[in-house]
Structure formats: structure tokens, C-alpha cells
Structure 1
Amino acid sequence: MTTHVVFIHGLWIHSSAWKPWQELFTQKGYTTSAPGWPGDLDTVEATRANPDGLNNQGIWEICNHYADLIEKLDERPIVVGHSFGGLIAQELLANDLVAAAVAIDPAPVKGVHVIPFAQLKSGFPVLRSPGNRTKTVALDEKQFKYAFGNAITDEESNALHAAWTIPGPGRPLFEDATANFTRNSHATVDTETALRGPLLLTSGTEDHTVPEVVTRAVAKLYAKNDSSVTEYHTYEGKGHSLTIDAGWQEVASDVLAWLDQKGHGPRP
């Protein structure tokens, strides 16, 4: 039985934002880790001051970074990923590197053809300039409010922006945006034939960065796989900040309950 949980953050958020989740999961008997992306530094402040290590880090580099870290563990872990972390979690699961995965408001995999305006607007700070593909780009308070904090107050959104945001590499967004036009896209996940552990996909109904219709389209791709478990859960009224805002415990508690239901609770 797997008892180690690896948390994977998404674009623009530092890995230390997972600390409340780690504390809760530790209390419930799990061991946890929340490694940053390749190029992330140890703190929000340090990464903001020197984000150049994130330049040109793409989906393949991020996936391999986590695969290498997971290989060093004593057992296949569970992975919980948010946003692009949710896409990485699915790739790790499809390649049988982890025992189970939770993808919270995950970036779309190749094969999703719906592109809502809100998703385009959320990614516009990066996608507006081709030169951003090899650079890091930071969100200002207004951009963060639209992409992450639209379902919470301005005050809370600004506080989350100040606490957790870091510049993010542009390359993953460009790779994901062009996935359906790229033959060997790094956003490809075997949704149909992979024999793997259980997967939980979740979506907030008010999410702008990964709108609910996008995650539902991902779930439909998995519906063709009769050999592996995929489940979908919707959070009414929640936006992309659902893992870090005041309502995070509801999401975390649901993940814990799902893992227990699927036989991945901690050992007694």
C-alpha cells in the first residue's frame, strides 16, 4: 500500500504553497514531498529574484524531473497535481510510475479541442508574444485575479498573489496550446489503453485558466479506457485558486477520502 504523496504545483505558483496540504496529509498518516519544477529555487522570494533557471523548461523536462525524483523513492507514490501539475500527474500515471493520481483543474492533454475565451485570456500574458516561449513571465495582481482569483475577493486574491506567485516558464503553455497540431507533442497522454492506477479529475465551475468544459473533455477521452479507473468531480463556485484559497481544506479532504476509497489510504 502506497503511503507517500508527491504534490506537483502548476504554472505561476511555488511548491511551498502545498505546505498546508502536506501538514494535513501527514496528520492522516502519509509521508509527503512537494518538489519544485526544474529551475525553481527553495523559496518564493529566491525564485522571484532569480527565475532564469526556469527559462525554456518545457513539459518533457518537467515530467522527466519528477520521474527521476520518483525513481529514488522506496515505493511508487501517489501524485496530486494542480493545473500543469495535473497534466504531469497524468503522464506519470499513464507510464505506470505512480500508484494513483489526482489532477486538480489540470492543463488539457492533447486531444482536447475546446478552447474557451476565458482560457485564452488567462494564458494571454504569455501567449501574446512568441518570444515568451523561452522566457519566464510573471502575473500581476490583475492578471492573477482573472486567471486564479475570480471566485474569491480582491483582498484574498491579492494576498495569495503576494504569498505564492513566481514567474513561470512560457514553454509549457506554448506546447499545450499547439499540442493538437504537433505530431509528437509532449502533452500527449495515453488515455485509452494505459493499464494504470486510479485517476481522479476535478474541476471548479468558475475556473478561468482551465474551464470546466475543458476538464470534462479530458474525462471523455478517458471514457474509452475500460481497463483503468477514472473518476470526475466538480466543485461548484470554485476557481483556479481552489488549492490555495480559504476553501482548500474541502478539496484536500475530498482527495483524502477518494484515496481511502480506492485502497490508497495510509497503513495502520
Structure 2
Amino acid sequence: MTTPTKTNPVIFIHGLWIHSAAWAPWIELFESRGYSASAPGWPGDGPTVADTRANADALNDQGLAEIFNHYAELVGTPEVKPIVVGHSFGGLIAEELLANNLVAAAVAIDPAGVKGVKALPFAQLKSAFPVLSNPANLHRTVSLNAKQFHYGFGNTLTEEESDALHDAWTIPGPGRPLFQGASANFFPHSPAKVDTHLADRGPLLLTSGTEDHTVPLKVTKEVFDMYAKGESDTEFHVFEGKGHSLTIDSGWNEVADVALNWLANKGF
């Protein structure tokens, strides 16, 4: 492990269906660049993929508020605020932590849409169908099979690479965050609400893969447009040809390098 030379530690936040251990290559890379880095899981996650699969009920009813509060408590009020890097719903949590001035900067990689987004592409609906098709899933966890994972995450990959990622990293995911995201515009105090006009906060980088089925480019572009109406420091990066697996597939280094370069440009 490299002795940290950077002031701000980095916290990685995973998204739905992927275990926090999948961040291991990112942690190693960021530590080689002088950061202290960690990837604590969601409330209810087991320490390993196998443990989480074996105790899926521990994730029942874990929603956006519970996940946010979990990370807010982990961050606490340190003298030096951390940087957060989140993927998918982890990206949304990263945005919320930043909007609440709990962190110094945030990178939201293909983040779940915030309240106010109107775009609802077919690919996104199809990716969420395994959960949203059954109202009972609001209170329980759902696992993706290899075919569902290939559509939602690995659509730009060979079936072999997608299946290998599915076998290695997927865990049951609570249905509640997806229902909360889908219904956000109907509830004034939705846990998916983020203050996109807040100017007094650290910088935010939003990214999107052009081929993402789970959070399509159109969705993240609309989120960026919401931020652009305010005065906050928000930037947008598009990854050509990448899908939702971009943080864990063979091209993850390109995504990590963009995040590292952006942080360096922001003085972190």
C-alpha cells in the first residue's frame, strides 16, 4: 500500500446488484496515486459476495434514505472531508452527500436519476422490469440472472465477459430504491430529491456511457441540464460505447483515469 500523499480520502459507493468488493482495482489504483481509499458496503451487505447472497433478507426494505443515512454516518464530520465516487444508485447517494456538504467533491458514474427527471427510455424500463414488475419487491431483494445482467449491465460486452462479471460480483439488491426512483416525481419529499441549484458545495462530475441501458445517456444528460441552471460547479463526461458495467469490466481503467484527472484538475 502506498503511503497517502493526498489530503482528502476517497470513499467508493457501489450501486444496485454489485458488491463493494468490485471496487478493489479502483482502490489499488487510487492508493497508488496517493489517496487513502475504501469501499464500505450498503447497510445489510455482507463482507463478501457469498455472504451477501447467503443472507439476502438483510437488505430487505433498505431504501435511499437508509442508504444515505448509512454513508452520512460513516462520513461523519471530519476535519478533512472525503471525496466520494459512486456508481448507479451509489452515484445518486454521492450527489446527495455533496448537496448536504458532507463531502468535498463527488464523481457520479452513470448515476440513478434524481427527482425531476422526465426521461424514461424503454431500455431503462426493461432493465428495471425484474423489480418493478412485482409490487411485492418493494419490501424484498431481487437478484438478476445472467441474461438480465447482460441486458442491463453487460450489453456492450461478450456474453462470456458479462457472465463472468455476473458470477463474480452480483448480489441481491433491495427493490425499494428502484420503486422510489420510479415514483420520485409524485412525491414532494422523495428521497431521490437533490438540490441541483445549490452553489455552495464542492465540485461534481457526472458521467454517462452512450450505450448504458440501466441509466441511459438521455437520463444523465437531463440531470446535468438541471444542475446547469444553477451556479454550482458541475461537469459532464460522456464515455462512448460504454454500458452500465463500465466500472467493473475490462475498460474500467479508462473510467478511473477520467475521475483521477478530473480530481487533479480540481486540486484534489
Compute the TM-score of the two structures, normalised by the length of structure 2.
Answer: 0.97
2:28 is aligned to 23
Q: CA deviation at 1:30?
A: 0.2
- After superposition, what is the alpha-carbon deviation per residue over 1:19-56, rounded to whole angstroms, capped at 9, x for unaligned? 00000000000001100000001000000011111000
Q: What letter is aligned with 1:69? A: L
2:17 aligned counterpart, secondary structure:
coil
Report how far residue 194 of structure 1 moved: 4.3
* Cα deviation 1:226-254 (Å, max 9, x = unaligned): 1x210000000000000000000000011
- Alpha-carbon shift at residue 74 of structure 1 (Å): 5.0
Match of residue 225, structure 1, among 213, 227, 230: 230
For 1:163, the equivalent position in structure 2 comes to 168
Please give the secondary structure, in 2, of the residue aligned with 1:240: coil
1:254 and 2:262 matched: no
Write the letter of the residue equivalent to 1:203: S
2:247 counterpart letter in structure 1: T
Provide structure 2 residue ranges, at least 5 long, that are not aligned to the other structure: 1-5
Which 4+ stretches in 1 moved above 4 angstroms? none
In the TM superposition, what is the alpha-carbon distance from 1:2 to its structure 2 partner? 3.8
**Distance in 1 between residues matched to 2:109 and 2:198, nearest whole Å:** 22
**Is residue 109–residue 207 contact of structure 2 (8 Å, CA) maintained in 1?**
yes
Please give the alpha-carbon distance, in whole angstroms, between the structure 1 residues aligned to 2:208 and 2:183: 22
> 1:190, 1:125 → 2: CA distance?
30
- Structure 2 counterpart SS, 1:173: helix
TM-score of the aligned structures, taking structure 1 as reference length: 0.97
Q: Any stretches of 5+ residues in structure 1 without a counterpart?
A: none
Contact 2:63 2:174 (C-alpha < 8 Å) held by counterparts: yes
Matches of 1:45 and 1:132, distance apart in 2: 22
Q: Percent identity?
A: 67
Cα distance in structure 2, aligned partners of 1:193 and 1:94? 7
**Distance across 2 between alignment mates of 1:35 and 1:193:** 27
- Structure 1 residues 83-102: aligned runs within 5 Å: 83-102=88-107
